[in-house]
Amino acid sequence: MFAPLRFDGKVVLITGAGGGLGREYALAFAERGAFVVVNDLGGDIKGGGKSSTAADKVVAEIKAKGGTAVANYDSVENGEKLVQTALDTFGRIGIVPWLEALGLLLYSSTIYDVYLFVFQPGFLRVLFQIWIIMTSSAAGIYGNFGQANYSTAKLGLLGFSNTLAIEGQKYNIYCNTIAPTAGSRLTQTVMAQDLLDFFKVEYVSPLVLWLCHEQCEENGSLFEVGGGWIAKLRWERTQGAILRHQNQSMSPEAVRDHWDKICNFQNATKPASVHEAMNQLLEVLSAVDIDT
């Protein structure tokens, strides 16, 4: 229980690992014995250009500390190339934290490509366990002014992660999502310097490492993390109101008249699966049937 968490011999593929959060994860995993694929396209802050410098620097840092790492300069759009680098270099893959700061189209193609690859029957045979960390954002969870594209992508990622967690379970694929707050190139234009200093990237990586450790059984969950604080999120649903009786129609006036009840979170339920959510709906069905 009190032994340090180690990742000896585990292969960790980290996208966007040439800077910010990804770099911190790469260093932290390597320090604890993992073999790291440092992926980074090395573009500029607006997403333009391409360079091997960012990934190479992190690989050099890891090697200088006695760790094991290899660089990959492909865009995360080419997910299968990233995975192939891990397989070619280390013969297998064990942990895949995904970090992306990209647009919606890129997200769907990127993640789906890797998803298809990971689920190929041949690929599954070489797997033992995979831990995937998706990086969402408070902008997606809560919405944020001026961030429509980013919010859409980031919350879409959560839906994807939730389903991957369910589908992956029988293959020992664990998938969780984090919404971090950290000072980085991404946030330096929107956060004041004192906040950038306070929300250090190293206050996010401990959660990522724990979620990727074989002792951790968490799956399909969402966490907010930043500045040394970590919290888990879940959905809450009001008791709601039944607005019709058997063989009766339903009106907008009934919605208006029951609005307070529909929106009242007293005794809220917390469905954790489609199954649990559906059960409550089925109860409504029988209540409507009985209540003539």
Residue 38 burial (10 A CB sphere; 0-12, 13-18, 19+): buried
Residues 132-171 that bind ligand NAD (CB under 6 A): 135, 137
C-beta separation of 17 from 55 below 8 A: yes
What strands, in cross-sheet order, belong to the sheet with 11-14? Answer: 68-72, 35-39, 11-14, 95-98, 130-135, 173-181, 222-226, 229-233
Under rule CB under 6 A, residue 93 binds ligand NAD: no
Cα–Cα dist 281/278, whole Å: 5
20 or 67: whose CB is closer to ligand NAD?
A: 20
- Size of interface with ligand NAD, in residues (CB under 6 A): 28
Residues 35-74 that bind ligand NAD (CB under 6 A): 39-43, 54
Strand pairing class (229-233; 222-226): antiparallel
Contact letters for ligand NAD, residues 182-221 (x by CB under 6 A): x-xxxx----------------------------------
Taking CB under 6 A as the criterion, the residue among 12, 13, 14, 19 binding ligand NAD is 19
The active-site residue out of 150, 171, 174, 203 is: 150
Under rule CB under 6 A, residue 79 binds ligand NAD: no
Taking CB under 6 A as the criterion, the residue among 10, 11, 12, 22 binding ligand NAD is 22
Residues 6 or more apart from 15 whose CB is under 8 A from it? 22, 39, 40, 76, 82, 97, 98, 99, 100
C-alpha distance from residue 60 to each of 43, 73, 171 (Å): 19, 15, 34
Question: At 71, phi and psi to the nearest 5?
Answer: -95, 150
Smallest separation (angstroms) from ligand NAD to the CB of 24: 8
Q: What is the DSSP letter of 228?
A: T
Question: 150 an active-site residue?
Answer: yes
Smallest separation (angstroms) from ligand NAD to the CB of 164: 16
Taking CB under 6 A as the criterion, the residue among 7, 15, 27, 224 binding ligand NAD is 15
Binding site for ligand NAD (CB under 6 A): 15-16, 18-22, 39-43, 54, 75-76, 99-102, 135, 137, 180-182, 184-187
Q: Which residues are catalytic?
A: 150
